Structure formats: C-alpha cells, structure tokens
A and B are shown apart, each in its own frame.
Chain A
Amino acid sequence: MEGALSISSKENRQIRAPGDGPLLRVAGLSKFYGARTGCADVSFDLWPGEVLGIVGESGSGKSTLLSCLAGHLTPDRGQVIFETREGPRDTVAMAEPERRLLGRTDWAFVHQNPRDGLRMGVSAGGNVGERLMAVGARNFGAIRETAADWLGRVEIDAARIDDRPRQFSGGMQQRLQIARNLVTGPRLVFMDEPTGGLDVSVQARLLDLLRGLVRDMGLAVIIVTHDLAVARLLAHRLMVMKDGRVIEQGLTDQVLDDPQAAYTQLLVSSVLQV
C-alpha cells in the first residue's frame, strides 16, 4: 500500500501478524449413534478471521459435527484443540464448567431458530445485557449502553430496547441473537443455518451484517448451511459432508466451480445457480 491509503485497523493487523497459529485444530473427530455414524474422522484447522462453511444435505452429519465442535455433544473420538488465552486446550477433555465458561466468553453459538438462542420473555436489551452480566459486568448504566450500541450495530432501532423479542420479526430476532452472542467479543462463532427460516431479502441484510462483523472483529466462524449461495458469499473455505464423512474440502469458489467428488458435482449441478 502506498500514498494516502494507510493500514489502520488494529484487528486486521492482528489477523495477519506473522507466526499466528490456528485458533482451532480438529483431529479425527467422530461421533456414533450406536451402529449409525453421526460424523467420522473429521480433521481441519481454522485460523482467526476465517469462515469455514460446512455444506451437505439433511442427515449428512453437518449439525452433529457442529454440536461436537461446540461441546453440545460429546464425540466418541478425536480432539478439538482451541487456542485459549492461556494456550492450547483440548476442549473435549475439559471439565464441563470450563467448557461452559468458554461458551460464555470466547465462543458463541447462533442457532437456526432464534427462540433457541434468545430468552423470549426478556427485553431485547436484557437479552444482550444478560450475556455481559454472565461474564461479570455489574454496572447497569454501562451494560445498557453497550446493549444499545450492539442493537445499533445489528440495525435494531434503539427505541425497541425494552421490547420483548416475540414482538420482533424473524429477521430482527436473528439479528438480536447475533448481538447477544457477539457482545462479549468472542473469537470463535458457531452458526447453524443462521439464514435458514428467513425471507431472501432479510437473508441478504444478515449476510452483509455477518461479513462486516467477521472482517471488523477478526472472527473465526464455522457455519453450517445447506444453501450453496449463502456459502459462496460468506465462507472462505468449504467442507462438503455426506454420510458423516468429509467428501471434499477446499477454497469455496474452487469447490463450487470445479468440484472433484461425484457427490459434490451432483450437489452443485442440482442448484439453479450459485
């Protein structure tokens, strides 16, 4: 870069600092339901600022994999090594309270259905403030101010801060869920079909919001989606799953434009246009 264009964003500098390691290292992750395979032998690295898309049809094991990664399900084999602020730790072997703490601080989980990630009887401001309080914030004024700031960032009018989420549209509820999740400054965000039940126009707004947050906060994201158009716009890399196994992985536009595996070719050619 030269001339008037100067590199300024602190977050971006951090992402590109040489010698940075992966934020998450997954090795041989497997989960079986009796004789049936949930997911088998999944391995990958994820770096700060990187968005990994997991695609496949329903029943391909992508949600099982996400649950195992996020600690909602206990895998039968494998490691999920997260670079905590104190160094690398295998989260599979962590004690439950430690993993829960991680889930409130460095990790976030955005559910497909906002009802699963929000407290529907608590105000919008309360939904965001609650997560701050869970990590020790006590000053009411500061919490409300931060909550209002985050409602603004996800484009919810500050005048709605005391309304309950059930008075919100589906798209607003999803944005509120994202604010609630990101307010504590997580480094790794898990998303399960975040644009799933939304109208196309609402999806677009959410995609734009997510891209901006990923870039500005340097977030690492693992996003499960069956929508290849969403994957193309949001994910840097793709993992294609079938029957619990990773069939193919690579750069997003390479997997979509020049798929190598028979299954991926079928998947891509079955879509009208991505």
Chain B
Amino acid sequence: MIEIENLCKSFTLHNQGSAVIPVMAGAHLRVGPGECVALTGQSGAGKSTLMRMIWGNYLAASGTIRVGGLDVTRATPREIIALRRDTLGYVSQFLRVVPRVPTRTVVAEPLLALGVAPEAALARAEDLLRQLNIPARLWDLSPTTFSGGEQQRVNIARGFAHDYPALLLDEPTASLDGANREVVLGLIEAAKARGAAIVGIFHDEAARARLCDREIDVTHFTPQRAA
C-alpha cells in the first residue's frame, strides 16, 4: 500500500547563505494492508520529515513514494488532493481548522468532501466524538477553544471519520489520559483489522509494542553530516 524506495531529501535555505542541508538519503519502506509500522529514532532524525514526504507537503529530491499506486513525488497537486480525499489519512499533532466551525462539522468534513450525505456524515462524526468522550454540549462549538487533549481527540475523530486504506499517525496518543488512550488504540486496531496500512510515530512504547508489526529506525536514512 505504501512503498518507498531510495528516497532522498535536502533543504536549501536561500536566505541563509543558500545552505544545503541533507536530511534523508536512501530511505526504504514497505507497508502492506493491515500492517502497522512505527518510525523510530531520536528527535531530529527525520521521522516527521518522512511522514510529511508521504503526505506530500514536503518535496522529495529523488526516489519514489507510492501510495495506493500513485507516486507522490511526481503526482500533480490535483492527484494528491484526490489521494488525500479517498486513500490517505493523516492525524497530525495539531488541529488546524477554520475558526468558528462547529466540532461536529470539523469531524464530518472528510466525509462531506467524499460526497457522503450530510446526515450520515454528521451521525458518524457524533459516534466518533461520543467514543472519544467529547461531551455533546461541545459539539456545536469550535474546537479552537478546547484544551490540548480535547483538540487531539477531535483531530483523531476527524482522521478516523473515513475508512482510509492508508493512515499516517503522528503521536496519536500523546496528551491523552488512560481511558482515551485506550479508545484511540482501539480505533487504530480496528483500522488495522479492516486492512489499513499504517505508518506511525509513537513515543508511547507500550502503544508501539501493542500496535506495531515492525519498527523502522530512520537514523539509518540520516545522511552523514560533516562534524
């Protein structure tokens, strides 16, 4: 489902003396349906960078990233938008939404974009919010005013609204209490069981051990830097 071959990436900082910073070289990764792979490595090793390249908001210097058959490194914006709508989901660490949009709608949006009828989309959104213990009295409010943990759960609800065949999870259990952590782990297990290919960053070691079939240390893809 997700196939990465010989992926390289560097940043060119034009406004800082055109410094070229190589951040990844020769990355390989294959994730099949129903498989969950954890990216590991120290902070700054390139876990988030790799995830963003799969998502398509970081450009690759060379190599290929195939998601559901589409090579993200060569795809047009239009193809990536379709990929994100139909195939590839992403639960980032931070919720980014239009202010004043009700939580219920924020969660239903991925389904509305797919053309699901509003009643069905909102019902699914409410079901997820209920599972994630967001009180019903908050559903009509914008999540921008919520606490960090509540925002994270809204973000997760939104990311699981549609059954994406491929999922990227960036610290999905960070800042959650025990009960909610358990709900999120359950959602991830259910996604695996229905055949989703998952790439995740989990600092939560117990979660990683429970969910992940393999670990990939991205330090192996970090280019040697001159001291």
Interface residues of A (CB under 8 A from B): 1-2, 4-9, 12-13, 16, 47, 50, 201, 204-205, 207-208, 211, 215, 232-233, 236-237, 250-251, 253-254, 256-258, 260-262, 265-266, 269
Contact = CB atoms under 8 A, between A and B. Distances in A.
27 contacts: A1-B114, A1-B163, A4-B123, A5-B111, A5-B124, A6-B116, A6-B117, A8-B117, A8-B120, A9-B115, A12-B115, A13-B115, A50-B81, A201-B100, A204-B99, A204-B100, A205-B100, A208-B100, A215-B112, A233-B98, A237-B78, A251-B80, A253-B56, A254-B59, A265-B13, A265-B14, A266-B14
Contacts of B114: 1, 7, 12
Contacts of A236: 77-78, 81
A267 to B, nearest CB: 10
A251 B113 contact: no
Contacts of B82: 16
A201 B98 CA distance: 10
Contact of B98 (A7, A207, A254, A266): A207
Contact of A254 (B56, B99, B111, B121): B56
Given A236-B77, A254-B59, A258-B59, A266 B15 contact: yes
B116 A1 contact: yes
Interface of B: 11-15, 52, 56-59, 77-78, 80-82, 96, 98-101, 111-117, 120-121, 123-124, 163
Closest 7 CB pairs of A and B: A12-B115, A262-B14, A8-B117, A204-B99, A253-B57, A251-B77, A9-B115
A260 B59 contact: yes
Contacts of B101: 208
A173 B212 CA distance: 54
Contacts of A207: 98
A18 to B, nearest CB: 11
A104 B198 CA distance: 49
Contacts of A208: 98, 100-101
A8 B120 CA distance: 10
Given A232-B96, A237-B77, A265-B15, 11 more contacts: A1-B163, A5-B116, A5-B124, A6-B120, A8-B120, A12-B113, A204-B98, A215-B112, A250-B77, A254-B58, A260-B59
A204 B142 CA distance: 11
A211 to B, nearest CB: 7
Nearest to A207: B98
A9 B116 CA distance: 7
Nearest to A200: B99
A204 B52 CA distance: 27
Given A13-B115, A207-B98, A254-B57, A5 B120 contact: yes
Contacts of B163: 1-2
A12 B110 CA distance: 13
Contacts of B98: 204, 207-208, 211, 233
Contact of B120 (A4, A237, A269): A4
A115 B166 CA distance: 48
B4 to A, nearest CB: 17
Contact of A9 (B59, B77, B117): B117
Contacts of B15: 262, 265-266, 269
Contacts of B113: 12, 215
Contacts of B112: 215
Nearest to A269: B15
Given A12-B114, A254-B59, A261 B99 contact: no
A232 B12 CA distance: 22
A243 B12 CA distance: 23
A7 B116 contact: yes
B115 A7 contact: yes
A159 to B, nearest CB: 23
Contact of A257 (B58, B115, B116, B120): B58
